[in-house]
């Protein structure tokens, strides 16, 4: 899979920009603040409908404009010349609009799956050093890349949690849960259990499948012999024990565990006014050797582990017949020479890689390809 023509209209600092990417390596260079990352962000947003830099859409729209548009042509693969044209209109405060081959789509998320990416960014260090929400988001990104329909499940789950929390907060302020509110809470509980069980299942499966690739990728990147590992660690002890013991976890069994926990914690939830049960509270435990990565990993080890996670996802997707576009946003500047060369060796086989860097010298010579110069929102082939 690779991207060819990309067009930006009122996206970030671009009033209007066109560029043509090629298969293989594409390098965007230019001083900081010129708009390199905005291009990578636009491609990633078209693939995932999320930004790795901001949590809302408003900053994506150029100042003074009402909306932004991102368009791209995506070729299925080097051996598959089918082409899709993707378009996304970003409307802050309103629903985004999507087109696929110029046909309007009912929802923006109907684009998911048409373009798959794996993105490396400086923010990836938060995967190791950040809070559990960052690790959950990274896992969920990979889950959705594998199974795009899970984006809808996750969106529905998040909506249930928001509505459930609003109800619990009201009950907490009143000091009681009346009969009508209890009946409504039962409805939200049923949906939390249904959506939550599917999220737990797919997270657990993804982390299990990722394991061997994470070990291999960390060994390839880090100049050390320690093993890296990731474990899905639900907050509920009963659920954690079940996932550890079951050879083939069942969604029905997971749902039963969640339902029992909701029944047991209802009084606590009403008292505290917040949802205390569900995959929105789970952790992903990362380790290097015998020690947990968070709090013990050095800066170099943390970077190596974050890169290894992204590489592991890349290799897992390729093993499943998906050739994602690799996006590397100013990553090489953060690495020493050894890690740069090792990362380059790992990604050279990608059908397409898009790299940003302040200077070309930051990028290993083995990653030679199509070059662009970005200056003050203008893009020129170098």
Listed in order, strand segments (DSSP E) in 12-116 are 14-20, 24-29, 68-77, 80-90, 97-100, 103-104
Q: Which of 149, 238, 156, 150 is nearest to 164 (CA)?
A: 156
Asked whether the CA dihedral 260, 262, 266, 272 is positive or negative, the reply is positive
Give the fold, CATH level 3, of 1-116+323-382: Rossmann fold (3.40.50)
Angle at the Cα of 294 (from 325 to 341), degrees rounded to 5? 40
For 234, which DSSP code?
-
> 374: part of which helix (H) or strand (E)?
strand 370-375
Give the Cα separation of 270 and 253 in Å (integer): 26
All residues at 6 or more sequence positions from 158 whose CB lies less than 8 Å from its CB, including other chains: 280
304 within 8 A of 215, measured Cβ to Cβ = no
27 within 8 A of 357, measured Cβ to Cβ = yes
- What pTM did the predictor assign? 0.93
**How far, in Å, are 31, 124, 261 from residue 130 at the CA level?**
28, 9, 27
Give the Cα separation of 359 and 232 in Å (integer): 39
Ranges of each domain in the chain: 1-116+323-382, 124-320
Give the Cα separation of 242 and 231 in Å (integer): 14
CATH code of domain 124-320: 1.20.1050.90
Angle at the Cα of 96 (from 93 to 101), degrees rounded to 5? 165
How does pLDDT run across 219-234, given as a tens digit for each residue?
Answer: 999 877 889 999 999 9
**pLDDT in 10s for each residue of the chain, 382 residues:** 999 999 999 999 999 999 999 999 999 999 988 999 999 999 999 999 999 899 899 999 999 999 999 999 999 999 888 999 999 999 998 999 999 999 999 999 999 999 999 999 988 999 999 999 999 999 999 999 999 999 999 999 999 999 999 999 999 999 889 999 999 999 999 999 999 999 999 999 999 999 999 999 999 998 778 899 999 999 999 999 999 999 889 999 999 999 999 999 999 999 999 999 999 999 999 999 999 999 999 988 999 999 999 999 999 999 999 999 999 999 998 888 888 999 999 998 899 999 999 999 999 999 989 999 999 889 998 8
Q: In whole angstroms, how large is the CA radius of gyration of the chain?
A: 22
How does pLDDT run across 90-120, given as a tens digit for each residue?
Answer: 999 899 999 999 999 999 999 999 999 999 9
């Amino acid at each position: 899979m690779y991207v060819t023509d990309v067009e930006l209209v009122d996206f970030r600092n671009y009033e209007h920009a066109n560029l043509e990417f090629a298969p293989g390596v594409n390098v965007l260079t230019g001083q900081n603040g010129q708009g390199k990352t905005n291009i990578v962000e636009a491609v990633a947003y078209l693939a995932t409908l999320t930004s790795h830099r901001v949590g809302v859409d408003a900053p994506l729209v150029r100042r003074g404009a009402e909306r932004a548009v991102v368009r791209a042509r995506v070729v299925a693969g080097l051996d598959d010349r089918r082409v899709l044209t993707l378009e996304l209109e970003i409307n802050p405060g309103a629903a985004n609009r999507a087109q696929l081959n110029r046909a309007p789509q009912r929802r923006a998320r109907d684009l998911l799956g048409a373009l798959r990416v794996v993105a490396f960014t400086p923010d990836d260090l938060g995967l190791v050093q950040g809070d559990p929400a960052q690790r959950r988001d990274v896992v969920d990104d990979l889950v959705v890349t594998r199974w795009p329909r899970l984006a809808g499940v996750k969106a529905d789950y998040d909506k249930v949690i928001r509505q459930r929390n609003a109800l619990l907060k009201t009950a907490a302020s009143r000091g009681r849960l009346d009969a009508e509110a209890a009946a409504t809470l039962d409805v939200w509980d049923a949906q939390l259990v249904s959506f939550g069980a599917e999220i737990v299942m797919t997270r657990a499966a993804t982390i299990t499948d990722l394991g061997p690739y994470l070990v291999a990728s960390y060994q390839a990147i880090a100049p050390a012999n320690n093993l890296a590992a990731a474990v899905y660690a639900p907050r509920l002890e009963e659920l954690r024990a079940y996932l550890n013991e079951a050879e083939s976890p069942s969604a029905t069994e997971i749902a039963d565990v969640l339902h029992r926990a909701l029944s047991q914690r209802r009084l606590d939830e009403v008292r505290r006014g917040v949802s205390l049960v569900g995959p929105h509270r789970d952790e992903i435990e990362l380790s290097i050797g015998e020690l947990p990565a968070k709090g013990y990993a050095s800066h170099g080890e943390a970077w190596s582990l974050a890169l290894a996670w992204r590489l592991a996802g890349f290799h897992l997707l390729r093993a499943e017949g998906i050739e994602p576009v690799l996006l590397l946003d100013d990553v090489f500047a953060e690495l020493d020479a050894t890690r740069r060369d090792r990362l380059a060796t790992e990604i050279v086989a990608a059908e397409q890689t898009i790299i940003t860097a302040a200077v070309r010298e930051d990028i290993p010579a083995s990653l030679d390809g199509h070059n662009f110069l970005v200056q003050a929102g203008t893009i020129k082939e170098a």
